[in-house]
Structure 1
Amino acid sequence: MKGGPSPKVVVCIVYVAAMFMAAMDATVLNVALGTISRELNIPPAASGALNVGYLASLALVLPVAGWLGDRWGSKRILLLALGLFTGASALCGLADGLAELTAYRVLQGIGGGLLAPVGMAMLFRAFPPQERAKVSRALVLPIAAAPAFGPIVSGLLTDQFSWRWIFYINLPVGIPVLLFGLLYLKEHKEPEAGPLDLPGFLLSAPGLALTMYALSQGPVLGWHSPWIAGAGLLGMLLLAALVVVELRAPKPMLDMRLLRDRLFRTAGLVGMCSAAGLLGMLYVFPLMYQYGLGASALETGLTTFPEALGLMVSSQLVPWSYPKLGPKRLIMTGLLCTTAIFVLLSFVHEGTDPWLIRSLLFGVGVCLGHTVGAVQIASFANIPPSSMGRASTWFQVQNRLGSAIGLALLSGILAAVGTGAANAAGVMEPNLTAYRSALLGAAGFLLLGLWFASGIRDSDAAATLRKRDDPAPVKTGGERSSPAEG
């Protein structure tokens, strides 16, 4: 349509709304699982299928999302995914049994798996590298803030209305954004997308789904379970075969050659570790505060909420701090400060002032928000628009695996140490050592990310540091054409 809003504004609005909705949906269910189990008369253990179905279907479509956007049109696929996610949300709210609800969660997972890579590719195509620091506020908010909002929204809706509203809440967001995108989004196709890499899809889809299943259910069913061990082993074998196949494919679905770009490779590993640490902390600390220190679910949600406020603040500061400090110093400073805060959170006890805890979590949002924003800006500095779909797919796969690995390992620490211990009278009491050990494990992920970040070179991200009107550096015959060769 002529006379409409700027294409850049349109992409930002659709991306932020869609990703915030999808990211929050991943956390709202956990708070309501107990209520859903009681109302639908299903065992609490069986309700885990709702999360498994969502994660498995998301993992199935995630690898092919970039190719679908390139081949069939990014607008078409994004709106299809958004419509599927929104429609499945309505169906989830109407479900009368576990089988129905699980099936609709699978549909939600398919929509959610397509949204992130296609939306990110559209965003980075719309904004050249030198403008991406300014758009960082659109990148940080939906990915990192939504997990903090989810438990509060879920607790309020479940207590005051019904668990069904945790799904209905997506409708007043999804429907207007779908119509807005239909009117104003611009279509984009890649003429060189090529045919579907069928061998890559047949290896990546089940390989990633089985690996995600093993990582998410291992702490629940036990790592000794034949189902978990078998799924994990088969998933890793399929992913290993995928690497070999994709390196030989002329048009791979998951383009491993993108990892030749030193900055994309290194920043991706930092992002993976950051996702493991952040999502791990947002899983462990609420458990510690609620079950270890006796806080209510609402108190826990309100106490962790300042983390989201910190992320909002960081999203406003990154456009200034990124060009001033450069990606390496900004990422390393954020990781180092967040690691220190995680260690301090592990010392929280019953007598700790709640406002001190909220201040620490606000600091997590500010510090790690800088890291997340800088990683996303720098990662795609040298990726050409024609490869953006596959690059965003690879970036999302890494982050999903990072989150799953973080939750799996920290859940394993909780199980190994034991969240309960008998006192002298033989009465079971919360074992805070388990939660504290897990929080230190989350800090360990950030330290690993800090080690990877030490290999970042600001010169590799020069395109994101130049002002809009600055000329690109002139290459001489002795210079390499891309830091990917480094």
Structure 2
Amino acid sequence: MSHEQRTGPRLGHRVSAKVAVCVLFVAANFMAIMDTTIVNVALPAIGRDFAVDTSGLSSVNVGYLVALAVFIPVSGWLGNRFGTRRTALTALLLFTVASGLCATADSLEALTGYRVLQGIGGGLLAPVGMTMMLRAFPVAERLRAQQYVMLPTAVAPALGPVLGGWLVDAASWHWVFLVNLPVGLLALCFGLGVLPDFPGEGAPRFDVPGFFLAGGGLAAVLYALTGAPDRGWESGAVLVPLVGGAAFLAALVPWELRARHPMIDLGVFGDELFRTTQLVLLPTGAAFMGVLYLYPQFLQTDLGYDALHSGLATFPEALGMLTASQIVPRVHDRVGPRRLMVVGGAGAALVIVLLAILTVTPQPLALYPSTYLLGVSVGLLFASAQNAAFVTIPPSRTADATTLLTMQRQTAGAFGVALAGTLAASLASPAGADGAFAYRTAFFTLAALCLCASLLALRVSDRRVREAYGAPGPRPAPGGAARLRRTTGP
């Protein structure tokens, strides 16, 4: 790849490719992730303005979620066909413009339509951005990059409810969308000036059946999981899309394995490290999102917190994840990713068990350090697993790997929320039922998922990771990952 291909058109000689990719990835991913939580706080105000009850507002989030799901699978093909730079900037522009349109919506139908446009941009941003990160950073430097990659993943979900509640109370619901404009416009101007391109090997003919099977199946499954806590798992509105979506995804596997030009190269799962780390991340992501959904509800219903203060009580989780992102690069070489993942999963399970115990005898002062420790534990696992997932993936397959990772993350999060919400609602629904018992049971279930992740992490091979870093011997020298440099680029 030539120097001109890897640097931006105007200021690239003054801003390194790595800095440019990090800045754009963090800004874009931050907006896309936060948008999934910030809007929930504004729904009651939106309903009052449009004279729609709460049940009729589901289209606002469902439209976004379905569009997101449909366009995640196509992101890798677009990045290889048009280049990562053009694809990322187009997605960022679409997301930013759609945010502004959402703020001007004068009806529920218009808002839903604009949210669909937002979802298209959001579905492309995360996988294309991660592809650029993997191609910009050699294997030995990716742990350093994790310090920045973890920022949107850690802060955005926790900041969304806090910022959303404050904006709705201080101004209006329109500002939960307007807040994206300055970030999006600044990131877009920066990207136009300095963002490099990391083109793939070119995209073959578009796989139309693969697109419909992957996009349609993922969208149907996410739609069903999102509605399950409110409608019930036995509802036709949940069962039909869930079974249909699962059938689509099941049919996707043999089609993509036989297709001459597959939409997603499922052969990536043949890589042992990638496959194992995805199995570890799946239950962890479900448990993490389940806790983030359930914990604020417990604070509001049992402890009497308002929406803003329950969000503030959740925020230490983000600080914990940021702490973990600084710890992992410093201890990775000495400890190894397997031990970090095992400790992270087990630690998360213990903290969630503590949260379950606190539903019996609530201690407000114990809640803040508990959520911080949860963030540290989950952060140790996430940072180690995401780094290990890609160390043996060749550059030609990074787009497919990041697409599959994003699909797994969305499905895990939706399943975790559906599981937690269903347990809490079903166990607390009978007259006179103990609400604390319902929350406690849900927390214990989520803790079991983290324990499963910890056990699965025992299968991760430290040896394979060391070989990818090019460091012989059983225990590389401290800081070796930061010092090593590969002779060839990614």
TM-score (ref. length: structure 1) = 0.93
1:91 maps to 101
2:453 maps to 449
Which AA in structure 1 matches 2:287? G
Which AA in structure 2 matches 1:310? G
SS at match of 2:143: coil
Q: Work out the CA distance in 1 between the residues paired with 2:43 and 2:439.
A: 22
Q: CA deviation at 1:420?
A: 7.0
Aligned partner (choices 229, 241, 251) of residue 239 of structure 2: 229
Which AA in structure 2 matches 1:322? H
Mean CA deviation greater in 305-314 or 8-17: 305-314
Distance 1:465 1:136, change over 3 A: farther
| Count of aligned residue pairs for this structure pair | 467
Mean CA deviation greater in 379-388 or 448-457: 448-457
Q: CA deviation at 1:464?
A: 4.1
Which AA in structure 1 matches 2:301? Y
Mean CA deviation greater in 245-254 or 49-58: 245-254
SS at match of 2:51: coil
Gaps of 5+ in 2: 1-9, 472-479
Aligned partner (choices 204, 229, 233) of residue 219 of structure 1: 229
1:70 maps to 80
1:197 lines up with 2:201 in the alignment: no
Query: How far does the alpha carbon of each residue in 1:226-279 deviate from its partner, in whole angstroms, 9 at most, with x for none?
Result: 222111111111111101101112332221111111100010111121110111
1:407 maps to 417
Contact 2:140-2:485 within 8 A present in 1 as well: no
Q: Work out the CA distance in 1 between the residues paired with 2:484 and 2:54.
A: 59
Mean CA deviation greater in 61-70 or 182-191: 182-191
Aligned partner (choices 35, 47, 69) of residue 59 of structure 1: 69
Contact 2:138-2:486 within 8 A present in 1 as well: no
Q: Work out the CA distance in 2 between the residues paired with 1:82 and 1:205.
A: 20
Contact 1:318-1:370 within 8 A present in 2 as well: yes
Q: CA deviation at 1:292?
A: 2.1
1:435 maps to 439
Identity percentage of aligned residues:
42
Q: CA deviation at 1:472?
A: 7.9
TM-score (ref. length: structure 2) = 0.92
Q: Work out the CA distance in 1 between the residues paired with 2:469 and 2:298.
A: 40
Query: How far does the alpha carbon of each residue in 1:386-422 deviate from its partner, in whole angstroms, 9 at most, with x for none?
Result: 1111110011111111111111111221122025743
Contact 1:58-1:113 within 8 A present in 2 as well: yes
Contact 2:84-2:197 within 8 A present in 1 as well: yes
Contact 1:279-1:406 within 8 A present in 2 as well: yes
Contact 1:243-1:256 within 8 A present in 2 as well: yes
Aligned partner (choices 231, 244, 267) of residue 257 of structure 1: 267
Q: Work out the CA distance in 1 between the residues paired with 2:292 and 2:59.
A: 22
SS at match of 1:134: helix
Q: CA deviation at 1:321?
A: 2.0
1:137 maps to 147
Which AA in structure 2 matches 1:356? A
Q: Work out the CA distance in 2 between the residues paired with 1:230 and 1:379.
A: 33
Gaps of 5+ in 1: 423-428, 474-486
SS at match of 1:172: helix
SS at match of 1:54: helix
Aligned partner (choices 13, 21, 27) of residue 11 of structure 1: 21
Q: CA deviation at 1:324?
A: 2.1
Q: CA deviation at 1:79?
A: 0.6
1:365 lines up with 2:370 in the alignment: no
Contact 2:359-2:440 within 8 A present in 1 as well: no
Mean CA deviation greater in 216-225 or 77-86: 216-225
SS at match of 1:191: coil
Q: Work out the CA distance in 1 between the residues paired with 2:185 and 2:14.
A: 19
1:483 maps to none
Q: Work out the CA distance in 2 between the residues paired with 1:223 and 1:166.
A: 31
2:364 maps to 354
Q: CA deviation at 1:302?
A: 1.2
Q: Work out the CA distance in 2 between the residues paired with 1:192 and 1:250.
A: 15
Query: How far does the alpha carbon of each residue in 1:463-486 deviate from its partner, in whole angstroms, 9 at most, with x for none?
Result: 24744665889xxxxxxxxxxxxx
Query: How far does the alpha carbon of each residue in 1:191-222 deviate from its partner, in whole angstroms, 9 at most, with x for none?
Result: 34322122211211111111111111122222
1:273 maps to 283
- The runs of 4+ residues in structure 1 deviating greater than 6 Å are none
Q: CA deviation at 1:144?
A: 2.8
Contact 1:133-1:464 within 8 A present in 2 as well: no
Which AA in structure 2 matches 1:457? S
Contact 1:131-1:464 within 8 A present in 2 as well: no
Distance 1:278 1:207, change over 3 A: same
Alignment of 1:121-132 (within 5 A): 121-132=131-142
1:111 maps to 121
Q: Work out the CA distance in 1 between the residues paired with 2:55 and 2:371.
A: 31
Q: CA deviation at 1:448?
A: 1.9
Aligned partner (choices 282, 286, 292) of residue 296 of structure 2: 286
Mean CA deviation greater in 6-15 or 409-418: 409-418
Q: CA deviation at 1:5?
A: 0.8
Which AA in structure 2 matches 1:204? A
Aligned partner (choices 435, 450, 465) of residue 461 of structure 1: 465
SS at match of 1:162: coil
SS at match of 1:252: coil
Query: How far does the alpha carbon of each residue in 1:413-446 deviate from its partner, in whole angstroms, 9 at most, with x for none?
Result: 1122025743xxxxxx861111111111211221
Mean CA deviation greater in 157-166 or 429-438: 429-438
Q: CA deviation at 1:172?
A: 0.9
Q: Work out the CA distance in 1 between the residues paired with 2:19 and 2:213.
A: 37
Q: CA deviation at 1:293?
A: 2.0
Q: Work out the CA distance in 1 between the residues paired with 2:359 and 2:70.
A: 42
Which AA in structure 2 matches 1:222? G
1:100 maps to 110
Q: CA deviation at 1:353?
A: 3.5
Which AA in structure 1 matches 2:341? I
What RMSD over aligned residues (CA atoms) do the two structures have, in Å?
1.7
Which AA in structure 1 matches 2:318? A
